Amino acid sequence: MKKIGFIGLGNMGSKMVTHLLKSNYEVVGYDINQEYIDQLSPNGLKKANNLNDVSKGTDIIITMLPNGDIVEEALDNIIDRLKPGTLITDCSTIDVNKAKELHKKCKVKNLFFLDAPVSGGVGGAENGTLTFMVGGDENAYKMMLPLFGVMGQKSLLCGTYGSGQATKACNNMLLATTMIGVGEAFNLGTNLGLDPKKLFEILSTSTGSCWAVNNYCPIAGVGPKSPADKSFEPGFSASLMYKDLSIALKAINDTNTLAPFGIKAQENFRQMVNDKKGDLDFSAITKFNE
Ligand code: NAD
């Protein structure tokens, strides 16, 4: 069985690593926060005191870190110590071009790299139901498939280097814009004197239905339980959505794509974060939309 190194044991990483340990993988884990490593060691996680420890004898390294600069810094620290053929799978959400650069850096050293961001949030990480959108080489993808199967319920090789991050940027731009639209529809309905529960009943079964209405309705007491029912406790925070939309915005500019709604969504989330509401669930944008 392959030996795994795992870097970044926060909200997502700690849950993903737990599935690997339950499936009897040997995993050595590192986080700058020692407490997070200690919490997982009773489950069988081998402690790494530094990044060097993660790189020793590992076949596959998984990173689940806040952003692309941090992923690059971690990779730069270990890249010269990894044995040829080692696979690095970055599951963090990072900039598309940064992912491509990391692929190139690894290739020069005869290492494999996959960009494999996830959808499904902390709940999906906990239940092992994440979706992995993967960019890179088919051989590397095949090497990683058993681990994707342990940590998630779906993975797809979306294309070449950077395609996983590109897919994630498209998905989250769509999610942000639909969530804003859903909030506007409910606000209009309320102002027209409609009962939001009845509006939900029609929207969720009509052409207006979408994930933001049917599964994550941003109105308290309407639809299945969602962060709106818990004063917008995340879930998926507005700050993380703002980060993802900023990645999408960069991609929009780099590719000269016409995407006025995506651009406006990024502005709205930036405002929410500037107003110190970034810790709320992203669906609270329906309350702060301007
Ligand atoms: P988090 O902040 O809870 O976890 C990140 C971890 O990285 C922290 O424990 C932090 O201590 C650690 N870390 C930071 N710098 C480090 C370094 N140099 N070396 C080692 N460890 C370091 O974040 P998260 O919610 O787990 O998200 C991780 C990634 O997953 C992000 O890129 C995020 O965008 C993405 N993501 C998150 C969600 C979600 O719902 N939380 C959903 C999909 C994707």
Asked if the 3-160 domain carries CATH number 3.30.70.360, the reply is no
The catalytic site residues sit at 168
Rounded mean pLDDT of 57-65? 97
Q: What span, in angstroms and rounded, lies between the C-alpha atoms of 69 and 129?
A: 27
216-228 confidence digits (pLDDT tens): 999 999 999 999 9
Give the pocket of ligand 1 (CB within 6 Å). Answer: 7-13, 30-33, 36, 64-66, 70, 73-74, 92-93, 118, 121-122, 236, 240
Residue 66 CA to ligand 1 centre (angstroms): 4
Question: Tokens 């500019």 appear where?
Answer: 253
In this predicted structure, what is the pLDDT of residue 64? 98
Mean pLDDT on 176-184: 97
Question: Would you call 290 exposed, middle or buried from its count of C-beta atoms within 10 A (0-12, 13-18, 19+)?
Answer: exposed
Tens digit of each residue's pLDDT (9 = 90 or more) over 89-132: 999 999 999 999 999 999 999 999 999 999 998 889 999 999 99
Count CA atoms closer than 13 A to 33's CA, side-chain side. Answer: 11
Ligand 1 center–CA 184 separation, angstroms: 31
| Residue ranges covered by each domain of the chain | 3-160, 166-288
pLDDT digits (tens, 9 = 90+) for 10-59: 999 999 999 999 999 999 999 999 999 999 999 999 999 999 999 999 99
CA of 213 to the centre of ligand 1 (A): 27
Percentage of the chain surpassing pLDDT 90? 96
To test the pocket of ligand 1, the residue of 7, 16, 32 to mutate (highest count of ligand atoms within 8 Å of its CB) is 32
Query: Measured in angstroms, how far is the CA atom of residue 180 from the centroid of ligand 1?
Result: 25
Report the residue among 63, 65, 281 best suited for mutation to probe ligand 1: largest number of ligand atoms under 8 A from its CB: 65
In this predicted model, what pLDDT tens digit does every residue of 220-252 receive, in sequence order? 999 999 999 999 998 899 999 999 999 999 999
Q: Which atom of ligand 1 is nearest to the CA of 234?
A: 40
Q: What DSSP state is assigned to residue 278?
A: T
Q: What's the pLDDT at 288?
A: 80
Judged against a pLDDT cut of 80, whether residue 207 lies above it is answered with yes
Percent of the chain with pLDDT over 70: 99
Domains 3-160 and 166-288 share a fold: no
User: 138: number of CA atoms within 13 Å, CB side?
Assistant: 0
Q: pLDDT grade, residue 289 (50/70/90)?
A: low
Residue 276 in tokens: 């110190």
Residue 1 pLDDT = 80
- Output the pTM of the full model: 0.95
**CATH 1.10.1040.10 is held by the domain 166-288:** yes
What does pLDDT average to over the chain? 96
Nearest CA to ligand 1 atom 17: 32
Q: Average of pLDDT values for 166-188? A: 97
> CA 81, CA 50: separation in Å to the nearest integer?
13
Pocket-testing residue among 28, 45, 64, 98, ligand 1, by greatest number of atoms within 8 A of Cβ = 64
Q: How many CB atoms lie within 10 A of CB 5?
A: 27
201 C-alpha vs ligand 1 centroid, how far in Å?
Answer: 36
State the pLDDT confidence band at 290, using cuts at 50, 70 and 90: low
Average pLDDT over residues 142-166: 98
Can you tell me the distance from the alpha carbon of 245 to that of 216, in angstroms, rounded to the nearest whole number? 19
The span from the CA of 255 to the CA of 174, in Å, is 17
CB atoms within 10 A of CB 54: 27
Helix spans in 192-237 (H)? 196-203, 211-214
Question: What pLDDT score does 9 carry?
Answer: 98
